[in-house]
Amino acid sequence: MSALTSSSHCPRPTRSRGFTLVELMVAMTGGLFLSIVVFALSRDASRFYQRESRVANATLAGVSGFERLSGDLARAGHLSTPNIAADPRVCNRPQAAWPEALRSLRALVVDSNTTSTASTEVGAAGLTPKGLIISGALTTPEVLLTSSVSAPEGGAWQITLNLATPAAARLGLDPAPSANAKNQLVLSSVFTSDGQGRIIRLRDHGMDQYGIVKTAVASPGEAIITLEGKPALLRLVKGGVQCGVHDLGEGMALSVIDLVRYDIRSMVADSSYAPLFKASGLGTGGTSGGLPYEGKRAELVRVELTPGGTEIPATREIVAEYAVDLQVDAWGARNNLDPALVPITAQIDQAYPLTQLLRGVHLRLSVRSREADREADITSAGGSANLYRIPLGEGKTAPYARVRTFQSDIALRNLENSNWL
C-alpha cells in the first residue's frame, strides 16, 4: 500500500498599495479648501443671523416704546382739563403768578423744538422729530375723596383725605393708625415725584379747582396734603364767586395730574445710563470710542415735568433705543357746533387756542437697527412717512442703518365732550 504524498502551497503575501505623498498633499489641500468654504459660509450665516437679530431686537424695543407712548397719549386729559385757559368749569382761573406749566395746562401740546437732536445722527440726517407734552392722571387713575379742605388763618390750604374709600384702598392707603409708615410711602409716590409736588384737581358740583402739592404727610389714621400758596383755592361765599370750597370741604373729588414730555434726544451724557453705553465701549459723553456711530445715537425719552415746566432729572427714562423720528398729525372738530372731524394744520403748541376740540392723533415713531448694514439709501417721497434708512456717515453719507416705523391712530377719548370755546 503506497502512501500518497500531497503538498499544500501557502499563499504568497501580497503587498497593499498606499497613497503616494503627492496624493496625500492633494487630498489635504482639497480638504483645506473645503474647510475654508464651510467656515466662510458659516461665518456669513452667523453674521446674517446677528444682523437680523439686531433688527428684530430694535423692532421689539421700538414696539414696547411705542405702546408706552400710545398708552400715555390715549389718557391725555384724563381727570384733568383739555385747556385750562378756556375751560368754563375752572373755578380758580389761571393767574400770571401761577407756575407756567399749570397756567397753560393742556391735555396735549406738540413741540416743534428740535434742538435736543442737533448733535445727534438724527439732526445730521436732516430729520426734525416732534416732542409731546401730555397731561392727565397717568400715575394713578383713582379719584380720592376729601374729609375736609381748609385754610388755617394765615396758613396754606390743607386737604385731609378720606382713607376709608375703595379708591384709597386700591392705592394701598389704610385707615388703621398702625399703617402710618406704609401710608407715607404711598402718599410720597402718588403726590410727589422725586420730591417735586404734582398738580391736583378738586371737583365739586361739576366745578374744578387746581392746586400744587407742597407736602403729603401721613399721621396715624390720616393723610394730610398741604398745598403751595399759588394757586390758592377759592371758598364759596355768599355774594361772591359762585363756586369753590363749601362748608368743610367734605366729599370733594381729588385727582392727581402728571405732566410728561416725550422727545428724541441723546442720552450718552446721562450718568444714570452709563452702564448701558459702557457695553458699547462708550464712557459718559460718548467720546471714548467704542462701536462705530454709537456716540451720536438718539433715544425716545420720557421725563416728568414740574408745574413750572422744568424737567425732573431723576425721572428721565429711555423708552425706545435708537429712535430717529417722531411725528404727529391731529384731527379735531371743525368748531364747537359742528362735530365733523377735519385735519388740524395749525401748530398745536402752547398758543393753540382750541386744544379742547382735538379728537385724535396719528402717531409715527421710527427706530433704527443698531448696526449700519447698507451702503445705499432708498429714495422715497413722503419725508418721514416713508423713512426706510438713515445715514450714519458724515455729511449724510453711507453707511446706512435700516429703519422701522410704527404708526397708529389714537382717539383722545377724554376730550370727546369738550365742545366749548
Least confident of 8-12, 151-155, 173-177, 354-358: 8-12
Mean pLDDT for 203-229 is: 95
Is 130 part of a structural domain of the chain?
Answer: yes
3 state SS of 134: strand
Instruction: Decide which of 241 and 319 is more confident.
Output: 319
Is 20 part of a structural domain of the chain?
Answer: no
Residue with grid cell 386729559, as numbered in its chain: 77
pLDDT of 321 higher than 60? yes
CA distance 58 to 65: 10
248 & 265 share domain = no
Is 190 part of a structural domain of the chain?
Answer: yes
pLDDT given at position 52: 61
pLDDT given at position 4: 47
166 & 297 share domain = no
Residue at which a domain ends, from 193, 226, 256: 256
pLDDT band at 11 (very low <50, low <70, confident <90, very high): low
72 & 206 share domain = no
Is 216 part of a structural domain of the chain?
Answer: yes
Instruction: Decide which of 237 and 4 is more confident.
Output: 237
Mean pLDDT for 233-237 is: 89
pLDDT given at position 12: 60
248 & 335 share domain = no
Number of domains observed in the structure of the chain: 2
Contact between 124 and 401 under an 8 Å Cβ cutoff? The reply is: no
Phi and psi at 57, nearest 5°, equal: -65, -40
pLDDT tens column, 33-52? 788 877 777 766 666 556 66
The three cell numbers locating residue 365:
415713531
- Host domain of residue 300: 50-86+106-136+259-415
404 & 306 share domain = yes
284 & 384 share domain = yes
pLDDT given at position 154: 72
pLDDT given at position 276: 83
Is 230 part of a structural domain of the chain?
Answer: yes
Give strand pairing partners of 161: 146
Contact between 331 and 363 under an 8 Å Cβ cutoff? The reply is: no
pLDDT of 72 higher than 90? yes
pLDDT band at 1 (very low <50, low <70, confident <90, very high): very low
242 & 300 share domain = no
Contact between 231 and 213 under an 8 Å Cβ cutoff? The reply is: no
Residue at which a domain ends, from 201, 236, 256: 256
Residue at which a domain ends, from 229, 256, 283: 256
Q: What is the mean pLDDT of the chain?
A: 87
Residue with grid cell 445715514, as numbered in its chain: 391
Is 166 part of a structural domain of the chain?
Answer: yes
pLDDT of 385 higher than 70? no
Is 207 part of a structural domain of the chain?
Answer: yes
pLDDT given at position 215: 96
3 state SS of 368: strand
Neighbours of 355 (CB within 10 A): 29
Q: What is the pTM of this model?
A: 0.85
The three cell numbers locating residue 104:
397753560
173 & 280 share domain = no
pLDDT given at position 336: 86
CA distance 76 to 107: 5
160 & 231 share domain = yes
Listed residue (351, 341, 343, 397) closest to 372, CA to CA: 397
Contact between 322 and 308 under an 8 Å Cβ cutoff? The reply is: no
Contacts of 233 (CB under 8 A, 6+ apart): 92, 149, 151, 157, 202, 209, 211, 227, 244, 245
295 & 358 share domain = yes
Name the DSSP class of 228: P
Listed residue (156, 143, 304) closest to 224, CA to CA: 156
Give strand pairing partners of 211: 200
pLDDT of 7 higher than 90? no
Listed residue (118, 28, 44, 135) closest to 81, CA to CA: 135
241 & 266 share domain = no
271 & 400 share domain = yes
Is 197 part of a structural domain of the chain?
Answer: yes
